[in-house]
Structure 1
C-alpha cells in the first residue's frame, strides 16, 4: 500500500466519525448577520480551534470587531514543500422561512434524497461547514497515518462571510506576515455535475458606475417645450445605445486592452460540457445568445468582458400617463472585466465617452459603485495541473476548468493584500439549496471531497 492509498483508506475508515463531527458543527447556530447568535458564532470558532489543536495544529480564536477568526498552523513534514493557506467560513445564513424546512435546520442528519442518493441535511452543510471539514478531515487522515502533513498548512476560518466580511480586510492587513503563503486553497465553490469535479480558474472583475444626465432646471411640458428643449432620457438612451457595436462588442476606447483570447483547447472543453447554448438559455426562458457574436455561452459568461445596464430611470413612471420632459435621467451600468483589464482605466474611458455625448448646456454627474480587477490563474499553472490530475484520479469523470462570471471577494483580497494566487476547489452541487430552506450536502461530496483534498495535498508536496 502506497503512502497515499493508506491515507485514503484511513479517510474511508474515519467516515462515521467524520459525519458525527459535521453533525456537531452544524448544530451550532452560527448565524453571523443576527446579533442574537453572537455567542453561537464564538462557540463555532472555539469548536473548530479545539478540533485543529487536537490534530496538532497551533490554533487559536482571534477576536475582531465582529465575529472571531480561527487561525491554525502546522509545520508539515517537508521543509521544501509549499506552504498553503486554507480558507473557509463557519458562519451561516438565517433559516427563514422556517416553515419551508422539512427537518430542523440545525439538527443535521443523513437522509435519502431519491435514486439512492444520501445527503446530509441542515443549514451550512454545503455552505460552508461541510466544505471546510473536507479539508480538516483530509488532514486528520494524513495525521493518523503519517503523524504529520505533507505540506506546511495555515488555516483561516472566518465568521462573517455571510454578512459581508467587514472584519476580514483589517484582519488580513494586521496579520499579513503570519498568513502569507505560497498560495491559498478555497473550498467554497462547486462541481460541474455530480460526477465531474471542477477547478475555478477565473473570476471576472467589476466596474460599477451610475450616471445622471441633467438638462433643464425643472421638468417641462412636452407640448410647450418638446422639439426645442434637450431631453435627458433621449440623451441617455443614445449614450447607452452607443456602448455596443453591431457585433456586440463594447465600443469604449481601450476597453479590450489586456483581454486575451481563450485557449482553443479550453474553449473546446467548455463547448463539450454543455448541451448547447440554447439549452442553458431555455432554463431562463430565452432562445438566442446576446453579446459578442461568435462566442459560446460559457465563454461569454466566464472569459469575456461585458458592459451591462442594470437600471434606468427618468420622467414619469407612475400609473397612467404624463406628458413631461424630465429634468434628469439616470442609469446604472456595470462592466465585468477579464484578464488584465484595469478597472480605473475602464472607468476613465467610460466617463470620457459619456461626457463627449453631453450637449453644451447640459451636465452629467457620476457616482462610483466599486471596482476590482479580474482574477486569473494561469491555465498552464503547475498548481492547476497538479490539482486537476489529483481530482481526476478520484472522481468518475476528469476534472474541468471553469470560470465564474461574478466575483469572490476573498480571492481578490488574498491576491491584493497577501500576493497569493488561489486554487478554488469545491464539492457543492447545483441542487444543494444554499441560502434556501432544506439546504443539504451530498454524502458523496463530503466523502470524496475528503479524499480529493488528501490527493491534492499529496500532489502539491511533489516537486
Structure 2
C-alpha cells in the first residue's frame, strides 16, 4: 500500500534541531555508507566469513558510538545485532529489522563499476548492498543517531535487530527468536528491505508474495522405453509432471489447489484505493520487465 499524497512532508514535522543535524550530515552519511559498502559481507561464501564479521563489527561500533544500548549475540553462524534507544513511557515501540550480509556479485562482467568499490553516479550510490540492505539499515540508524545527537528526545522507543544471514535463509535468527521475544517486544516491525514505488513517492509495503519450495518425484516404467514402440501406450513421467504443474493454476492465473484461499483475507478497500492513486501503467510495467503483456 502506498500513499501518493500527503498533506505535509514528514521532514516538516521534525524538530528544527534534528532537521539541521540531518541536513548538515548528508556528506558524512554518504561517506559512512560507502565505507560500509566496501566490506564484501557475502554470507554464502565461506571465504568471506571474516568480511561478514567485519561488517557486523562496523555497524556495532557505529551504534555504540551513538549511545545506543547494544548487544552482539553469537550464533552458530553470524552474530545477531540488537540495539535500542531509551524507553518512552506510554509511547509505542518500533522494531527495525535489517541485514548486513549481501548477495554474491556475479556475474562481474555485468557491473559498470566493481561491486565493492562504491561510486556515485547521477546522485545514486552503486555497489553491492547499496539497496539490499545496507543502505536502508544505515538510513534508519543515521536518523536515530542524529536525532539523539541533536539533543532532542525521541517520541518513541526504537529497537534494532540486524542479522547477517538473511541471504542464506536466516536459520539462526529463527532459532533465537523465541529466546529474544521479550527483548524484541514491540508494537510494530519496520522492514525496509524493499524500495520506493517511484522517486519522491515513498511506499509502505504491506505484503509480498512468499515462496514454498519442494521436490516432486514422478515414478514411471522401471527402465527406458523407446517412444516409437511404447509412446502413447505408457505414460511419460515428464508429461505427467508437466500436467501436474499446469493443473495448479487455471487459465486466469488463479491457484487451483482446493482450500488454498480458505484463510486468505480479502483485500480491503483502503488498499485497493491506495493502489489506484499510484497511477500505475500496465504497458509501462510490462515493458520495464521485458514482457509483451501481463497475465492474471
Q: TM-score if structure 1 supplies the norm length?
A: 0.54
Matched, 1:151 2:162: no
Deviation at 1:30, TM superposition (A): 2.4
Q: Could you tell which deviates more after superposition, 42-51 or 95-104?
A: 95-104
CA distance in 2, matches of 1:228, 1:104: 57
How many residue pairs get aligned? The number is 285
Q: Alignment partner for residue 4 of structure 1, among 9, 15, 33? A: 15
Distance change >3 Å, CA 234–CA 90, structure 1 → 2 = closer
Matched residue, 1:83:
93
Matched residue, 1:194:
199
Output aligned runs, 1:353-372, within 5 Å: none
Deviation at 1:190, TM superposition (A): 0.3
CA distance in 2, matches of 1:2, 1:269: 23
Matched, 1:92 2:99: no
Matched residue, 1:23:
34
CA distance in 2, matches of 1:270, 1:66: 40
CA distance in 2, matches of 1:222, 1:2: 73
CA distance in 2, matches of 1:241, 1:94: 33
Partners of 2:252 and 2:295 within 8 A in 1: no
Structure 1 unaligned regions, length at least 5: 292-463
User: Secondary structure at the residue paired with 1:84?
Assistant: strand
User: Secondary structure at the residue paired with 1:153?
Assistant: strand
Matched residue, 1:52:
63
Output aligned runs, 1:440-459, within 5 Å: none
Deviation at 1:45, TM superposition (A): 1.8
Output aligned runs, 1:333-352, within 5 Å: none
Matched residue, 2:271:
266
Deviations 1:61-94 (A, max 9, x none): 2222222222212224x21111222122122233
* Higher-strand-fraction structure: 1
Deviation at 1:183, TM superposition (A): 2.2
User: Secondary structure at the residue paired with 1:184?
Assistant: strand
User: Secondary structure at the residue paired with 1:155?
Assistant: strand
Matched residue, 2:132:
127
Distance change >3 Å, CA 254–CA 31, structure 1 → 2 = closer
Deviations 1:278-336 (A, max 9, x none): 43234455444433xxxxxxxxxxxxxxxxxxxxxxxxxxxxxxxxxxxxxxxxxxxxx
Distance change >3 Å, CA 223–CA 189, structure 1 → 2 = closer
Deviation at 1:205, TM superposition (A): 3.5
Q: Alignment partner for residue 177 of structure 1, among 164, 173, 182? A: 182
Q: Which is bigger in relative contact order (C-alpha 8 A, separation at least 6)?
A: 1
Q: TM-score if structure 2 supplies the norm length?
A: 0.80
Distance change >3 Å, CA 232–CA 144, structure 1 → 2 = closer
Deviation at 1:229, TM superposition (A): 4.1
Matched residue, 2:146:
141
Matched residue, 2:45:
34
Partners of 2:96 and 2:191 within 8 A in 1: yes
Partners of 2:18 and 2:152 within 8 A in 1: no
Deviation at 1:19, TM superposition (A): 2.3
